[in-house]
């Protein structure tokens, strides 16, 4: 069934879009990532203009995150205090990111900058997570091996403004989570993603939060960051396509519910290995675009005059 999208101004197959939304929603519910880093490249691929893909992707992530967060909420998997601290940092980082984005656009190299950010951050985080989770999976198979503590006391615990995060069972300074939130907000604005793929490992490895609350808290923060992004794009560039978003959402919310249930059955290490492989795949795919000689060297962008 073909459907004409009013803002993207292309005609697409409605079932294809529903399917895309479903797959991304499934992964989003399973791993607690928003799925922005998957949906945006996939939309480019089926011919949606980049600006519309980025903005509409953000809108879809809001829906799948709300759906995922509600499922996590019933499992008491959301640390609202931690989420709020991350979010406050996130808005500051996002504002800086929007400014850098505009600056790179003026220089005419925003595409390259976005692609390099994807390769760098996805590659780095994917490789780190893969190595770490593989090691802990092997360790769990070998009984009697020394167990490493999830978090060790370090200089981080000497920082001021300590706060009790009951749901996470942590008593730490608010400075590290606020900084992590800012970094994620910055990346979100630059790369047009929710930032879950950065936030999830950062909460596990840097803050030492238990995996049980990581996914829900990440989704909680992503709802607000992507919500903010959606409205900003709608106001600044009128590039949110409601029709496209609704189709993606319909597929996505169903996928997210199924994904959350599958995620519960998997072990934390297995979940992390799968997520790291997914992240690495996207990084390699984008790196290939930069390295392989393209079929068509020229590209045409309408409506641009200095």
Q: Among residues 119 and 202, whose Cβ is nearest to other proteins?
A: 119
Cα 153 from Cα 27, distance rounded (Å): 33
Task: Supply the minimum distance, in Å, between the C-beta of residue 180 and other proteins.
Answer: 25
3-state secondary structure of 294: coil
Nearby residues of 157 by Cβ (< 8 Å), 6 or more positions away: 172, 173
Which one of 109, 131, 140, 270 is in contact with other proteins (CB under 8 A)? 109
Window contacting other proteins (CB under 8 A); options: 59-67, 84-92, 136-144, 174-182: 59-67
Q: Tokens for 52, please give them.
A: 């519309």
Query: x/- contact string, 112-141, with other proteins (CB under 8 A)?
Result: x-----------------------------
- Which residue is listed with tokens 């595409």? 111
Q: Among residues 131 and 238, whose Cβ is nearest to other proteins?
A: 238
Window contacting other proteins (CB under 8 A); options: 131-139, 176-184, 232-240, 265-273: 232-240
Which one of 75, 105, 108, 150 is in contact with other proteins (CB under 8 A)? 108
Which one of 209, 233, 263, 271 is in contact with other proteins (CB under 8 A)? 233
CA neighbor of 282 nearest in space, from 119, 124, 120: 119
Query: x/- contact string, 64-93, with other proteins (CB under 8 A)?
Result: xxxxxxxx----------------------
Residue 2 found at the interface with other proteins (CB under 8 A): yes
Q: Quick one: CA torsion of 187, 190, 194, 195, rounded to 10 degrees?
A: -20
- Scanning residues 8 to 27, which ones bind other proteins (CB under 8 A)? 9-11
- Scanning residues 244 to 303, which ones bind other proteins (CB under 8 A)? 245-246, 249-250, 253-254, 256-257, 289-294, 296-303
Residue 63 found at the interface with other proteins (CB under 8 A): yes
Query: x/- contact string, 196-215, with other proteins (CB under 8 A)?
Result: --------------------
Residues 60 and 226: beta-carbon distance below 8 Å: no
Task: Supply the minimum distance, in Å, between the C-beta of residue 63 and other proteins.
Answer: 4
Residues 53 and 9: beta-carbon distance below 8 Å: no
**Burial class of residue 291 in the structure, from the number of CB atoms within 10 Å of its CB (0-12 exposed, 13-18 middle, 19+ buried):** exposed
DSSP secondary structure string for all residues of 142-172: STTSPPPPSS---GGGG-SSEEEETTTTEEE
Which one of 227, 264, 266, 268 is in contact with other proteins (CB under 8 A)? 227
Q: Among residues 41 and 210, whose Cβ is nearest to other proteins?
A: 41
Question: What own/partner pairs with CB < 8 Å and gap ≥ 24 does 94-97 have?
Answer: 94/185, 94/186, 94/188, 94/189, 94/225, 94/228, 94/229, 95/185, 95/189, 96/182, 96/185, 96/186, 96/189, 97/185, 97/186, 97/187, 97/188, 97/189, 97/190
- Which residue is listed with tokens 């009013």? 6
Cα 32 from Cα 220, distance rounded (Å): 10
Interacting residues with other proteins (CB under 8 A): 1-4, 6-7, 9-11, 47, 59-60, 62-71, 108-109, 111-112, 223, 227, 230-235, 238, 240, 242-243, 245-246, 249-250, 253-254, 256-257, 289-294, 296-306
């Amino acid at each position: 069934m073909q459907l004409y999208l009013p803002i993207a101004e292309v005609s697409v197959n409605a079932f294809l879009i529903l399917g895309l939304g479903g797959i991304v929603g499934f992964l989003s519910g399973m791993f607690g990532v928003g799925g922005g880093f998957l949906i945006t490249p996939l939309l480019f691929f089926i011919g949606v203009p980049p600006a519309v893909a980025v903005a509409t992707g953000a809108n879809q992530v809001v829906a799948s995150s709300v759906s995922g967060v509600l499922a996590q909420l019933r499992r008491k998997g959301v640390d609202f205090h931690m989420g709020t601290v991350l979010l406050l940092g996130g808005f500051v980082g996002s504002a800086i990111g929007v400014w850098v984005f505009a600056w790179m656009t003026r220089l005419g190299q925003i595409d390259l900058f976005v692609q390099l950010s994807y390769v760098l951050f996805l590659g780095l985080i994917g490789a780190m997570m893969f190595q770490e989770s593989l090691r802990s999976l092997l360790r769990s198979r070998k009984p009697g091996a020394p167990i490493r503590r999830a978090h060790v006391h370090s200089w981080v615990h000497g920082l001021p403004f300590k706060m009790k995060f009951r749901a996470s069972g942590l008593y730490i300074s608010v400075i590290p989570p606020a900084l992590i939130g800012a970094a994620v907000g910055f990346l979100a604005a630059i790369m047009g993603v929710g930032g879950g793929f950065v936030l999830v490992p950062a909460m596990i490895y840097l803050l030492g939060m238990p995996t049980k609350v990581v996914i829900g808290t990440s989704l909680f923060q992503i709802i607000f960051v992507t919500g903010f992004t959606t409205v900003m794009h709608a106001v600044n560039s009128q590039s949110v396509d409601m029709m496209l978003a609704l189709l993606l959402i319909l597929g996505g919310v169903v996928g997210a519910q199924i994904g959350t249930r599958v995620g519960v059955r998997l072990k934390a290490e297995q979940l992390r290995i799968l997520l790291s492989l997914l992240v690495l795949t996207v990084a390699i795919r984008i790196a290939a675009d930069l390295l392989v000689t393209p079929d068509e060297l020229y590209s045409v962008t309408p409506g641009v005059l200095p």
